[in-house]
Structure 1
Amino acid sequence: MSETIGVIGVGQIGGTVARLAIDAGYKVVLSNSRGPESLSGVISSLGENAKADTSANIAKDENINIIVLSIPLNAVPTLLPSLGLKNKVILDTSNYYPFREGNLEELDSNKLTTSEYVLKYLDSSNKYVKIFNNIISFQLRSSATQDESKQTILPIAGDDEAKKVANEFSKKIGYKTYDVGPLSLSWKFEPNTPFYVGAYLPQPPEGSDHEALKTFFKKTPANPLTHEQAKQVIDATERPAVVGGSFEATPKFLLEIITELYAEEAQAKASGTAKLVL
């Protein structure tokens, strides 16, 4: 019997993880803030092993052990306590983008990492790991492979039991993992660090113009990093002076690709035909 994965938040990353999970033989149950009926197009594109439900029902489902949490930080303080998640393994994709959700003093002052901030709104019975936050959705989709010589690495941080589950799940969907340590070190692969997007970017052909760069990165899988390369990047990473992601820190061609994907997704939602834009 196939294991069922719950996905709370079906944006670019949550939707991509759902697609990879189904490709790997899992079943998925998805939810968003707009209700199950708004996900009909997404479910249709994912196929018979996907269905939509409410976040509350996913949280209460005893047959769902793994939850992919992919929601904006400004939804965390109200949504997570209301769901009553207990005894789940939480795979959290969160990043802090002040321009999107406003400034959070606990994060700006480095009192907490983004993951520690999310964790404080979860019941202590849950096991938590940070994963999938540092790679762009279209690269996450195109880079999944069972060919270990071509696999890249996803850094993880958090609870040891959750990291074990994350490693097994990642292996099934086509990735290796690198254990960065506890959540207090999860900043090592957040915005403004080398392992946030940059480490995955392959070398484009010489002389590529702006449009050629966009086409190249949309179609080319991420660099197949080794554990030794991941260790070198992580060990050399210093804590950024500026906390949180920004438009200014994103290369223009990547920003345009991401903006276009979100615009296409928003247009689909507005037309009532929401689907995965991968």
Structure 2
Amino acid sequence: MSETIGFIGVGQIGGTVARLAVDAGYKVVLSNSRGPESLSGVISSLGENAKADTSANIAKDKNIKIIVLSIPLNAVPTLLPSLGLKNKVILDTSNYYPVREGNLEELDSNKLTTSEYVSKYLDSSNKLVKIFNNIFSFHLRNSATQDESNQTILPIAGDDDEAKKLTNDFVQKIGYKTYDVGPSSLSWKFEPNTPFYGGIYLPEAPKDLDHDGLKEFYKKSQANPLTYEKAKEVLDSTERSTVVGGRPENYPKYLTEIVYDLYAQQAKDKASGNSKLIL
């Protein structure tokens, strides 16, 4: 029987990981804040190995060991304690963007990393691993490959070695390598405002492209196939920023427009009452 991966939240990253998981032979169970019926379009596009359910049912399903958590940080304090999550490996994809979620003092002051903040609201029997937060969804979708010579690296961080091993096994099956950065307290090394966030995966674009051409190029491009040596070099030299949280204005306009276009399409689908998988 195929292993089943649970999803709480099906945004750009969650939906992309679900697609890669199905392609790799996994079954997936998806949930969002609006109920299973709103995910019919997503389920239809993923095929027979996908189904929708409530977040509470996914949390209680003993056959699901790994859950991909992809929800806004401002939903964490109320949603996570209400689900009764226990004995799960939680793959945390979250990023802190104050313009989106409002300011969180524990993060603004560097008292906690984003993963440590999320962990506060989880039962101690759960094991959290930070992953999938530092790569654009279009690069994540385009770059999965079983050709190890062309695989790129996704950094991970967490406090439990067995959970990180399970995460590594899953990520390898969907087409990536991982680099263990260390405990959750070091997960800031691949959050917004660091060299390992987004930009490190950008291939060099043809020099004659205009703004619209750059958008089309990067939407279709594969991420740079990073080596362990390159990952180590970048991560070892990364210093913690005093400016915490992502700022859209800090990124090239063509990249932010790609992301905003994807969000706009998702919002349009939500308004119509039926989410779709935007890949």
TM-score grouping bracket, smaller chain normalisation? over 0.9
Asked if residue 214 in structure 1 is aligned to residue 215 in structure 2, the reply is yes
Deviation at 1:241, TM superposition (A): 2.2
Q: Amino acid of the residue matched to residue 23 of structure 1? A: D
Structure 2: gaps (5+ residues): none
Residue 126 (structure 2) aligns with: 126
CA distance in 2, matches of 1:57, 1:94: 22
Residue 177 (structure 1) aligns with: 178
CA distance in 1, matches of 2:115, 2:21: 23
Q: Deviations over 1:114-156 (max 9, x none)?
A: 0000001000001110000000001100000000111000000
Structure 1: gaps (5+ residues): none
Q: Deviations over 1:256-278 (max 9, x none)?
A: 10111111111111112311000
Deviation at 1:251, TM superposition (A): 1.1
Deviation at 1:209, TM superposition (A): 1.1
Query: Which residues of 2 match residues 179-258 of structure 1 at below 5 A?
Result: 179-258=180-259
Asked if residue 30 in structure 1 is aligned to residue 34 in structure 2, the reply is no
Residue 138 (structure 2) aligns with: 138
Residue 58 (structure 2) aligns with: 58
Residue 9 (structure 1) aligns with: 9
Residue 267 (structure 1) aligns with: 268
Deviation at 1:207, TM superposition (A): 2.4
CA distance in 1, matches of 2:276, 2:187: 31
Residue 116 (structure 2) aligns with: 116
Q: Amino acid of the residue matched to residue 258 of structure 1? A: V
Deviates more, 1:157-166 or 1:217-226: 157-166
Q: Amino acid of the residue matched to residue 185 of structure 1? A: L
SS at match of 1:180: strand
Spell out structure 1 runs of 4+ moving beyond 3 A.
none
Residue 169 (structure 2) aligns with: 168
Deviation at 1:32, TM superposition (A): 0.1
Q: Amino acid of the residue matched to residue 39 of structure 1? A: L
CA distance in 2, matches of 1:19, 1:248: 30
Deviation at 1:35, TM superposition (A): 0.4
SS at match of 2:19: helix
Deviation at 1:64, TM superposition (A): 0.5
CA distance in 1, matches of 2:17, 2:231: 22
TM-score, structure 1 as length reference: 0.99
CA distance in 2, matches of 1:236, 1:250: 21
Deviation at 1:45, TM superposition (A): 0.6
Deviates more, 1:1-10 or 1:243-252: 243-252
Q: Deviations over 1:80-101 (max 9, x none)?
A: 0000100001111011010011
Residue 92 (structure 2) aligns with: 92
CA distance in 1, matches of 2:260, 2:63: 36
CA distance in 1, matches of 2:277, 2:93: 17
Q: Amino acid of the residue matched to residue 261 of structure 2? A: E
TM-score, structure 2 as length reference: 0.99
Q: Deviations over 1:152-199 (max 9, x none)?
A: 000000021111111000000000000000001000000000000011
SS at match of 1:34: coil
Q: Deviations over 1:60-82 (max 9, x none)?
A: 00010100000000000000000
Asked if residue 42 in structure 1 is aligned to residue 42 in structure 2, the reply is yes
Equivalenced residue count is 278
Deviates more, 1:143-152 or 1:159-168: 159-168
CA distance in 1, matches of 2:188, 2:275: 33
CA distance in 2, matches of 1:267, 1:178: 36
Q: What do you get for the CA RMSD once the two structures are aligned?
A: 0.7
